[in-house]
Amino acid sequence: MKTLIVGLGNTILSDDGAGVFVARMLKKDLAGAVDIIEAETAGLDLMEMLSGYERAILVDAIKLDDELPGTVFRLRPDDLKITPRLSSCHDIDIVTALALGRKLGLEMPDEVIIYAVQAADMLTLSEGCLEDVARVIPLLAREITSFVKGEKMERVSIDLSGRRSGNA
Amino acid sequence: MKRVEIDPITRLEGHGKISIFIDDDGSVTDAFLQIPELRGFEKFVEGLPVEEIPRIMPRICGVCPAAHHMAAGKAVDAVYNADIPSVAKKLRELYYMAHYVHSHAAHFYALAAPDFVLGPDAPKASRNVLGLIEKVGLEIGTEVLKQRRISQEIQIMVGGRATHPVWNIPGGVTRALSTENRDKVKELAEGQLGFAEFSLKLFADIVLANEGYLDLIMGDVFEQVTNYMGLVDENNKVNFYHGKVRVVDPEGNEIVKYDESEYLQHIAEHVEPYSYLKYPYLKDRGWQGFKEGMGTPLFQANPLPRLNVSDGFATPKAQEHYEKMFETIGGKPCHKLLVNHWARLIEILYAAERMVELINDDEITDPNVRIIPSTTPTEGVGIVEAPRGTLTHHYWTDENGIVTKANLIVGTTNNHASISMAIKKVAQKLIKPGGEVSDGLLNTVEMAFRLYDPCFSCATHSLPGQMPLVVDIMDLDGEVLNTVSR
């Protein structure tokens, strides 16, 4: 399956860079098997990036209330419009991006999986993630590697729908 | 007193929030936009070699990297007191014009147009870019994306990269424009010009020809009387890269026109306890709260304000539309906030015209794109017009060029007070006595802050865009009395 992995985030905003750091690890682990890119913006740019792929795996940081830093959520685009880059005020969100791409006749992936790492801090300008998030990055990279290769895996991610509460 | 909160996403932390305060008798007393701000900027840049700054600043945010790259580039030139070669100025401006087309086009088509093409009362489910394309046709959608991509390609051909540019260095830019790339850009720039003209025609056909929309634009809900700020050239024409900052009062009289290096003498920033955000105002008038009208210290900086402060455009087609716009809306300065959308499209036209001018300039392929600065670095200010307002970068260094202090006033920050006041006016109209919220509130609040094209990614982290808005009406004890959401 033609797969694209996108690490979203900003590497100088503390934990916000989590997705990018995961993508960088995957570039070694999955070299040649899939395409891997880093991106700081989403929306229309993401729509163009995803065009031509059958499957997309997006990795981003997230900050939900009452969750422990380093928790990794697994979700689908329809679950929530949540991570900062997947819905920005100057751009369209991921659900709209996928629908727009299809409408315009682009070949958009049928399968989109989002891994979102709960951040402790993504507002402070600082290079690299804080400890709780840094620790989970290699574990998430290993899970995604196994998933892509179809190997037995140890999951670090949890399905967000199982954790959803209130009006999120 | 009751408090109404409009919360874009309930579980997502670090997002923007709108709070509306209601008196005991149900009248709206205040409205605030609250957003958490990026922290540690000064600390982050402290100790860095100042020549690294133009490379690092665009990384703060992927939305307007070119604006930060240009403001930082100009500031660092100033730190070294370097007058860069004429071709370097032209190349930077050329690059920046392509960024303007890219940014403004994305805002108009993906975010602003749906309100007009589908109507402000259309259901949320169709009032988006998908509904827009349904209505105007697939070809237009494809063309918008094509032109957006082309403006990225032009930036890449001119400056190497569209996001995370590393091209501006103290004294100029790192590489010249090859004749091969010049020829390619020449062709593409013509296409951008055609696209800009098409966009204005679309606006005329769909918005201006519709009486209902004209009434909305000219109505008093979206009206706000403040001062206006923008960069102008030596003839007081709109400029995005060069010139002085001009501020005019609500009647169009010049209050001040200052050089980049003088901004601290004229602009101060007010801080409120409920927000990390700063509210810039005219220093010598003193902070007077969120007050509009003659005498206010507040100003707006955005497309319409830029047109309000200027005496026109230096390019013929944009000038023609500038005249037509002010004639249609009853003169200058214009206080009708929704006119920003029209002004934004005229700015796309100017950017495209200027791009064509610059690429046809014989000097544009001159290889001498940099001088080596030789003075001892001290401090410097760089100001450009970001698509969403005047952007100021200021750096202080030691004698070795190591940054000791930094200050930024980003585009959206200039408009913080104005955005809050615009939301208040909408709330006053649409929240009835007793705190009952009318159906149109969420749509209209969205329209109010969207017209600013606010971007909080550098002022703060991103604010969710397609917002599942939630309004909580609360009493003084914080108990929720009513919730409206979608």
- Identify all chain B residues contacting A89, using CB atoms and an 8 Å cutoff: 16, 454-456, 462-465
Please provide residue B289's backbone torsions phi and psi, each rounded to the nearest 5 degrees. 80, -170
When CB atoms are compared, the residue of A10, A92, A126 closest to B59 is: A10
- Identify all chain A residues contacting B111, using CB atoms and an 8 Å cutoff: 90, 92
pLDDT for position B278: 84
Contact B255, B227 (CB under 8 A): yes
> How far is residue B91's CA from residue B315's CA, in Å, rounded to a whole number?
18
Q: Residue B186 corresponds to which tokens in the numbers above?
A: 């020449």
Strand segments (E) across B314-370:
none
Strands B480-485 and B470-474, how do they pair? antiparallel
Q: Which helix (H) or strand (E) is B190 found in, with range?
A: helix B179-203
- Concatenated DSSP letters for B321-336? HHHHHHHHTTSSS--B
Contact B72, B168 (CB under 8 A): yes
Q: Would you write out chain B's pLDDT as a tens digit for each of its 486 residues?
A: 455 555 443 333 334 567 777 777 777 777 777 666 677 777 889 999 999 999 999 887 767 889 999 999 999 999 999 999 999 999 999 999 999 999 999 889 988 888 888 877 777 667 778 888 888 889 999 999 999 999 999 999 999 998 889 999 999 999 999 999 999 999 999 999 999 999 999 999 999 999 989 998 999 999 999 999 999 999 999 999 999 999 999 999 999 999 999 999 999 999 876 666 789 999 999 999 999 999 999 999 999 999 999 999 999 999 999 999 999 999 999 999 999 999 999 999 999 999 999 999 999 999 999 999 999 999 999 999 999 999 999 999 999 999 999 999 988 889 989 998 998 898 888 877 766 666 677 778 778 888 888 765 554 333 233 333 445 555 545 555 555 443
- Concatenated DSSP letters for B23-53? -TTS-EEEEEEE--B-B-HHHHHTTSBGGGH
Task: Measure B130 CA to nearest chain A CA, in Å.
Answer: 6
Q: Break chain A into its structural domains and give their ranges.
A: 3-163
- Residues 20-79 (A) with a CB less than 8 A from some CB of B: 39-41, 43-44, 48, 62-65
CA B418, B424, B427, B433: dihedral to nearest 10 degrees? -170
What would the CATH number be for the domain defined by A3-163? 3.40.50.1450
Contact B105, B86 (CB under 8 A): no
Contact B306, B384 (CB under 8 A): no
CB contact under 8 A, B10 and A88: no
Task: Measure B432 CA to nearest chain A CA, in Å.
Answer: 26
- Identify all chain A residues contacting B59, using CB atoms and an 8 Å cutoff: 10-12, 40
Strands B299-300 and B227-232, how do they pair? parallel
- Residues 86-145 (A) with a CB less than 8 A from some CB of B: 87-93, 95-96, 99-100, 103-105, 122-126
Contact A51, A102 (CB under 8 A): no
- Identify all chain B residues contacting A90, using CB atoms and an 8 Å cutoff: 63, 103, 106-107, 111, 453, 455, 457, 465
Buried b (16+ CB within 10 A) or exposed e, A148-163: beeeeeeebbeebeee
How much is the pTM? 0.91
Tokens 């009647």 -> residue: B251
- Pure H helices in B229-332: 263-266, 303-309, 316-328
* ipTM metric: 0.85
CB contact under 8 A, A41 and B62: yes
From residue B79, how far is each of A67, B28, B56, B257, B378 by CA, in Å?
Answer: 45, 47, 16, 22, 5
CB contact under 8 A, A168 and B36: no
Which of helix, strand or coil describes residue A77?
coil
Tokens 């997502």 -> residue: B12
Q: Break chain B into its structural domains and give their ranges.
A: 2-38+436-485, 83-217+358-372, 224-335
From residue A125, how far is each of A38, A146, B383 by CA, in Å?
Answer: 19, 33, 22
Buried b (16+ CB within 10 A) or exposed e, B66-79: bbbbbbbbbbbbbb
CB contact under 8 A, B466 and A85: no
From residue A72, how far is each of A61, A95, A149, B54 by CA, in Å?
Answer: 9, 21, 20, 34
Q: Residue B214's closest CA among B225, B201, B203?
A: B203
Buried b (16+ CB within 10 A) or exposed e, A86-109: bbbbbbbbbbbbbbbbeebebebb
